[in-house]
């Protein structure tokens, strides 16, 4: 799926899940406008089921024609679900579209600018948009954006305690602002769905503690149940991830895993615990910080490969063909483990990439979470250089 499309899909969870109980019409309408950067002349329409599953491998249920950068589409539906619009050009190529929620009886006004979704509309969408504006248009959010821009130019700031403290302070101020708004608007379904998808509050906290009963027990209660069940599963996953992190701290022995690709099985133990120091880089082709780190690792590999150091890349959360393309493009010359499954980063408690671990000759973890200049400094320290 297109990278922009994935981003918009994730953003879609911020709107449209619950309709007003007083809304009796089944007709859902989309009014759309696309920016000049999108060359779509039509949109394929995909609709989800009651469990919010959207299958893009099937034939679209309909096609919307775009005229003068605008389109309109209506459909009668009995229950709220997800919709996905995939943009199509004259030559049949797919371009970024948008995703949102079908709310029977309501109208959503969409604008796609630079591949990102802006929205407003009737009651539910207006509630959602008001909450988005409250959270977005404040000094704390502007400060977070400034700090993030600083970090793009200077990635090492992620390790700076003052930078992290200021980021945390601004984030906490936004959380308080969000909570105050929700407490004052606890019957506004749109606001609560946006709040949930912001990641600042748990589903149970929002729907069982703050929201008015009509939100939790309305006609969409089965969807809220899905959200809560999913949140509980995520909590359990994060607990296990934290346990795995504790079990692979500095000083512990490596945990082995195996990967199969093109008929060949590779194990981490093929490299680690064989008498060499080994830098293992967990990375992904779509991760820009990972790609920026790789030239540094190539340089370290070339400088110290004859001094008892090896470097191994472990591509995670990635398609094998995308990994191979990135390896070729970046001219990576050290070994790679391709086509891994989720268990590989999970076993080390890794939740984000890049993540570089230095293993000793016998397989003990010497350093982890290395980045930038820290990598070569750690290598030199343990090689005694």
The pLDDT tens digits for 55-68 are 988 899 999 999 99
Q: Are 282 and 316 in contact (CB under 8 A)?
A: yes
Whether the Cβ atoms of residue 308 and residue 276 lie closer than 8 Å to each other: yes
Asked if 71 and 64 count as a contact pair (C-beta separation under 8 A), the reply is yes
**Residues belonging to the chain:** 385
CA angle in degrees (0–180, nearest 5) for 11-14-18: 140
Residue 281 has pLDDT above 70, yes or no: yes
Confidence band for 284, pLDDT divided at 50, 70 and 90: very high
pLDDT digits (tens, 9 = 90+) for 71-81: 999 999 988 88
Q: Report the pLDDT value the prediction gives residue 80, as an integer from 0 to 100.
A: 86
User: Is the pLDDT score of 277 beyond 90?
Assistant: yes
Cα(139)–Cα(131) distance, integer angstroms: 15
CB atoms within 10 A of CB 292: 12
Closest to 5 (Cα-Cα) out of 31, 43, 41, 36: 43
Confidence class of residue 37 from pLDDT cuts 50, 70 and 90?
Answer: confident
At residue 24, the pLDDT reads 65
The secondary structure of 141-189 as a DSSP string is: HHHHHHHHHHHHH-GGGGG-HHHHHHHHHHHHHHHHHHHHHHHHTTT-H
Q: How much is the pLDDT for 2?
A: 39
Enumerate the β-bridge partners of residue 175: none
Instruction: Report the chain's mean pLDDT, rounded to a whole number.
Output: 89
Q: What Rg value do the Cα atoms of the chain yield, rounded?
A: 24
More confident of the two residues 227 and 255? 255
Paired residues of 309 in beta bridges: 277
Mean pLDDT calculated for residue range 285-298: 95
> Which tokens is 82 given?
């997800």
Q: What distance in Å separates the CA atoms of residue 361 and residue 276, rounded to the nearest whole number?
A: 4
Domain boundaries, the chain: 3-119, 131-246, 258-383
Domain 258-383: assigned CATH number? 3.40.30.10
* Region 237-264 average pLDDT: 94
Both tokens assigned to 39: 């060359």
For 61-103, give the DSSP string.
SEEEEPBTTEEEEEEE-SS-EEEEEEEE-TTS-EEEEEEEEE-
| Res. 35: pLDDT tops 90 | no
Cα distance between residue 167 and residue 149, in whole Å: 12
Contacts of 92 (CB under 8 A, 6+ apart): none
Across 120-124, 137-141, 217-221, 341-345, least confident range: 217-221
Is the predicted pLDDT of residue 156 greater than 90, yes or no?
no
Look at residue 322 in the predicted model and tell me its pLDDT: 95
Separation of alpha carbons 318 and 3, rounded Å: 13
Predicted confidence band at 158 (pLDDT cuts at 50, 70, 90)? confident
Task: For helices 161-184 and 139-153, give the axis angle rounded to 10 degrees.
Answer: 150
CA dist 378 and 133 (Å) reads 45
- How sure is the predictor about 7, in pLDDT bands with cuts at 50, 70 and 90? very low
Contact yes or no for 44/85 (Cβ under 8 A): yes
- Whole-structure pTM value: 0.59
The architecture CATH gives domain 3-119: Sandwich (2.60)
Please give the average per-residue pLDDT across 187-210, as a whole number.
88
- pLDDT of 302 > 50? The answer is yes
> Among all chains, which residue has been given the structure tokens 């296990």?
240
Q: Are strands 264-267 and 277-283 parallel, antiparallel or unpaired?
A: unpaired
Looking at residue 112, what is its pLDDT? Answer: 81
- Rounded to 5 degrees, what are φ and ψ at 360? -80, 175
Q: Long-range contacts of range 196-202, CB-CB < 8 Å, 24 or more positions apart?
A: 196/13, 196/227, 197/13, 197/14, 198/14, 198/135, 200/174, 200/175, 202/231, 202/235
Residue 373 CB contacts under 8 Å (≥ 6 apart), including other chains: 156
Q: Is the pLDDT of residue 151 over 50?
A: yes
d(CA 256, CA 241) in angstroms, rounded, equals 16
Q: Which helix (H) or strand (E) holds 259?
A: strand 258-261
Tens of pLDDT along 347-382? 999 999 999 999 999 999 999 999 999 999 999 999
Span 226-242, mean pLDDT?
85
Cβ count near 136 (within 10 Å): 11
- The predicted structure's pLDDT at residue 5: 37
pLDDT band at residue 30 under the 50/70/90 scheme: very high
Are 195 and 131 within 8 A, CB to CB?
Answer: yes
Q: How much is the pLDDT for 182?
A: 95
**pLDDT tens digits, 86-142:** 999 999 899 878 888 888 999 999 998 776 778 999 999 999 999 999 888 999 999
Residues 283-296, mean pLDDT to the nearest whole number: 95
Within a 13 Å sphere around the CA of 365, how many CA atoms are in the beta-carbon half?
Answer: 20
């Amino acid at each position: 799926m297109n990278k922009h499309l994935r981003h918009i899909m994730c953003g879609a969870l911020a709107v449209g899940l619950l309709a007003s109980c007083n809304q009796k019409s089944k007709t859902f309408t989309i009014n759309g406008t696309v920016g000049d950067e999108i060359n779509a002349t039509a949109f394929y329409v995909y609709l989800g089921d009651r469990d919010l599953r959207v299958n893009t491998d099937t034939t679209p249920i309909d096609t919307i024609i775009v005229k003068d950068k605008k389109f309109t589409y209506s459909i009668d539906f009995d229950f709220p679900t997800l919709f996905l619009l995939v943009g199509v050009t004259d030559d049949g190529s797919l371009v970024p579209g948008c995703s949102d929620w079908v709310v029977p009886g309501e109208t959503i006004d969409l604008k796609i600018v630079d591949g990102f979704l802006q929205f407003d509309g009737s009651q539910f969408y207006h509630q959602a948009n008001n909450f988005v504006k409250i959270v977005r248009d404040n000094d704390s959010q502007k400060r977070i954006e400034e700090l993030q821009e600083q970090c793009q130019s200077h990635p090492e700031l992620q390790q700076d305690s003052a930078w992290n403290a200021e980021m945390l302070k601004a984030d906490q101020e936004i959380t308080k602002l969000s909570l105050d708004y929700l407490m004052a608007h606890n019957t506004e379904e749109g606001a609560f769905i946006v709040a949930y998808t912001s990641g600042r509050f748990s589903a149970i906290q929002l729907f069982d503690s703050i929201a008015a009963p009509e939100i939790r027990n309305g006609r969409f209660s089965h969807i809220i149940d899905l959200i809560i069940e999913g949140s509980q599963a995520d909590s359990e996953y994060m607990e296990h991830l934290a346990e795995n992190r504790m079990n692979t701290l500095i000083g512990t022995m490596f945990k082995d895993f195996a990967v199969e690709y093109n008929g060949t099985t590779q194990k981490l133990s093929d490299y680690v615990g064989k008498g060499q120091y080994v830098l293992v880089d967990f990375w992904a082709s779509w991760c820009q910080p990972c790609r920026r780190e790789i030239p540094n690792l190539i340089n370290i590999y070339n400088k110290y490969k004859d001094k008892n150091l090896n470097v191994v890349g472990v591509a995670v959360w990635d398609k094998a063909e995308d990994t191979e393309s990135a390896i070729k493009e970046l001219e990576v010359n050290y070994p790679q483990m391709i086509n891994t499954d989720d268990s590989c980063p999970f076993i080390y408690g890794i939740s984000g990439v890049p993540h570089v671990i230095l293993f000793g000759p016998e397989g003990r973890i010497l350093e982890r979470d290395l980045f930038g200049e820290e990598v070569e400094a750690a290598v030199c320290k343990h090689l005694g250089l």
